[in-house]
Amino acid sequence: MWASISRTMALIRKEIFAILKDPRTRYSLLLPPILQCLIFGYAASYDLNDVPYALLDQDHGAASRDLVARLDGTHVFHQVSYLVRASDIKKTIDDKTALLVLQIGPDFERNLLLGKPANIQVIADGRNSNTAGVALGYLGIIVDGFNSDWRSLHGLPNPPVQVTVRAWYNPSLETRWSMIPSLIGTITLMQTMMFAAMSIARERELGTFDQLLVTPLRPGEIMVGKAVPAMLVGLFQATNILLVAQLWFRIPFEGSFFTLYLGLILFLLAAVGIGIFVSSMAATMQQAMLYSFVLIMPFALLSGLTTPISNMPEVFQYFTLINPLRYAITIAQRVYLEGVGVDRLIPYLWPMALIATFTLSAATWMFRNRVA
């Protein structure tokens, strides 16, 4: 038993030295995660803070001026052009000069004063329909504000039912708050899984794996010796991303580090397990790399990172059950934003343990039987 542990420790130590010694590996494991976290923290957001719009005001009344002033006062909407003819709308949208065109008809203020519904026509560039939808949503809020002020100014009754909205765990509904905790899992998955897959595939391609096998190390010990350093790399990267989230983006951490790291360790074990399993199927480094890449793609897309899992058809929802990233993202978000304890996380923890057990034992079996 002791001999086995000390043999494994020796292999782990050697692997860690190998990582630390090569400056290229050192940098490729340290810098990309931090850079990605910074860039994607800013880029991966559905929130808009710049909506260029064009105005076609055919009314020129006080009411339309008031409405436009409200838009300009938000610092989100800014007027890029003032149109005089409806025929200019097409070019403005086509050339992406403006995301929205607001058309206020000639009888806007008259209708308003007569108590008739006054309409404004809005044309949105639907090439990215999600962005257009968000911009229209913002516009709706501003028009609502205008409406309720107009009603109280002119003694009109307010609508009988008001909807008050509150969001839990993310009061101002910033996408960044949901996105950055999920990046902890997403970014570490990519490198950890590939790192584990490559570290074995390289030895096999160079023929040093056979040399490892003739040492007293048993296949199971080699597996542990390869898995632990890859997991340490993952934990190191996760910690860096966590630091960026808290020190740079200042997203308040509600949970306990113990719970988060418990989840992360199981997740990394599953990721490393998949990586090692892939390398047991691959004959060369190139194959190991391409196979892991082919897996990372659906893992990332079917994780709930960019689109909700409940929107997916059932077949794909079943696939997400074997996707460790799905659980890691849920755990990271829930621990980070909600501060939930381990008891709430059990439904996400055991599937990852199961994935790790299955992949690691399958890989050990593959290695043992290939050599025999």
Partner 1 sequence: MQNDGLPAKLRRIRALVRKESYQIIRDPSTILIGVAMPIMMILLFGYALSLDVKSVPVAVVIEDTSPVAAELVAGFRLSPYFKTQVTTSMAAAEELMLERKADGIVRIRQDFSRNLSLGKAEVQVLAYGGDANRARIIEAYAQGAVGEWTARRASAGEAVFGGPVNIQSRLWFNEANDSHYYLVPGLIVMVMTIIGAFLTTMVMAREWERGTLEALFVTPVRTDEILLGKTLPYFALGMIGLALCVLAAKFLFDVPFRGSILVLTVASMLYLLVALGIGLLISSTVKSQFAASQLTMVATYLPAMMLSGFMFDLRSVPVAVQVIAYAFPARYFVSLLQTVFLAGDIWAIVLPNAAVLAGMVVVLLVLSVRATRKKLA
87 counts as binding partner 1 under rule CB under 8 A: no
Contacting residue, 28, 152, 208, 215, with partner 1 by CB under 8 A: 28
- Decide if 58 contacts 103 (C-beta within 8 A): yes
Contacting residue, 1, 3, 165, 346, with partner 1 by CB under 8 A: 165
x/- track of binding to partner 1 for residues 189-228 (CB under 8 A) = -xx--xx--x---x--------------------------
Please state the closest distance from residue 51 (CB atom) to partner 1, in A. 8
279 counts as binding partner 1 under rule CB under 8 A: no
Reported as half-sphere exposure (CB side, CA atoms, 13 A), residue 202 has a value of: 9
x/- track of binding to partner 1 for residues 240-269 (CB under 8 A) = ------------------------------
Instruction: Dihedral sign for Cα 56, 62, 64, 68, please.
Output: positive
Contacting residue, 14, 17, 18, 50, with partner 1 by CB under 8 A: 50
Please state the closest distance from residue 301 (CB atom) to partner 1, in A. 5
51 counts as binding partner 1 under rule CB under 8 A: yes
Characterize the bridge pairing of strands 51-57 and 77-82.
parallel
Q: Give 177 or 367: the residue with its C-beta nearer to partner 1.
A: 177
230 counts as binding partner 1 under rule CB under 8 A: no
* Cα–Cα distance measured from residue 275 to residue 198, given in angstroms and rounded to the nearest whole number: 8
DSSP state string for 236-291 = HHHHHHHHIIIIIS-PPP-S-HHHHHHHHHHHHHHHHHHHHHHHHH-SSHHHHHHH
Please state the closest distance from residue 264 (CB atom) to partner 1, in A. 18
122 counts as binding partner 1 under rule CB under 8 A: yes
357 C-beta neighbours (distance < 10 Å), count? 13
Contacting residue, 293, 339, 349, 366, with partner 1 by CB under 8 A: 293
Positions 309 through 328 that interact with partner 1 (CB under 8 A): 310-313, 316
Q: Which long-range contacts (CB under 8 A, 24 or more apart) does 172-176 make?
A: 174/45, 174/47, 175/44, 175/45, 175/46, 175/47, 176/41, 176/42, 176/44, 176/45, 176/47, 176/249, 176/251
Residue located via tokens 């850079």:
35
Contacting residue, 52, 220, 339, 351, with partner 1 by CB under 8 A: 52
Contacting residue, 93, 244, 260, 264, with partner 1 by CB under 8 A: 93
Please state the closest distance from residue 130 (CB atom) to partner 1, in A. 6
25 counts as binding partner 1 under rule CB under 8 A: yes
